């Protein structure tokens, strides 16, 4: 005899379990990443917790006719962007993998 108190179909239960598992996996990954970051801050011999990425500042200047002119910034042509060596952002710093991926993006004016 089927259980009449069960409100969800088997497919809906499967989707709920997958969503709960992915959420739990995300929080566990974030907690491990944060713990490892703070451990490297406390004990520098484990490795550098923070770093920086060097990049050239390229300006994207709008021009007539919906064209864009690109110029290197004359005031500050190069800069080092601080970053954390983690998977997720911590202490207001983006991860180094993210900063290095977007280092060549032009700055819109």
Residues with Cβ within 8 Å of 63's Cβ and at least 6 positions away in sequence, in order, are: 69
> pLDDT tens digits for 49-102?
999 999 999 899 988 888 988 889 889 899 999 999 999 999 999 999 999 999
pTM, entire model = 0.76
* Residue 97 Cα distances to 19, 30, 88, 92, angstroms: 27, 16, 10, 15
Give the residue extent of every domain in the chain.
10-108
DSSP H helices in the chain = 10-42, 96-101
> pLDDT tens digits for 15-39?
999 999 999 999 999 999 999 999 9
Phi and psi at residue 99, in whole multiples of 5°? -65, -45
How many Å is the maximal CA-CA distance in the chain?
78
Instruction: Using CB atoms within 10 Å of the CB of residue 105, give its burial: 0 to 12 exposed, 13 to 18 middle, 19+ buried.
Output: exposed
């Amino acid at each position: 005899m089927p259980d009449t108190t069960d409100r969800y179909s088997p497919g809906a239960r499967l989707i709920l379990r997958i969503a709960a598992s992915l959420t739990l996996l995300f929080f566990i990954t974030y907690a491990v990443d944060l713990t490892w970051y703070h451990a490297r801050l406390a004990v520098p011999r484990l490795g550098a917790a923070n770093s920086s990425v060097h990049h050239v500042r390229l300006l994207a200047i709008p021009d007539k006719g919906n064209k864009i002119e690109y110029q290197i910034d004359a005031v500050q042509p190069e800069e080092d962007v601080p970053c954390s060596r983690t998977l997720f952002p911590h202490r207001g710093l983006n991860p180094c993998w993210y900063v290095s991926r977007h280092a060549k993006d032009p700055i819109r004016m």
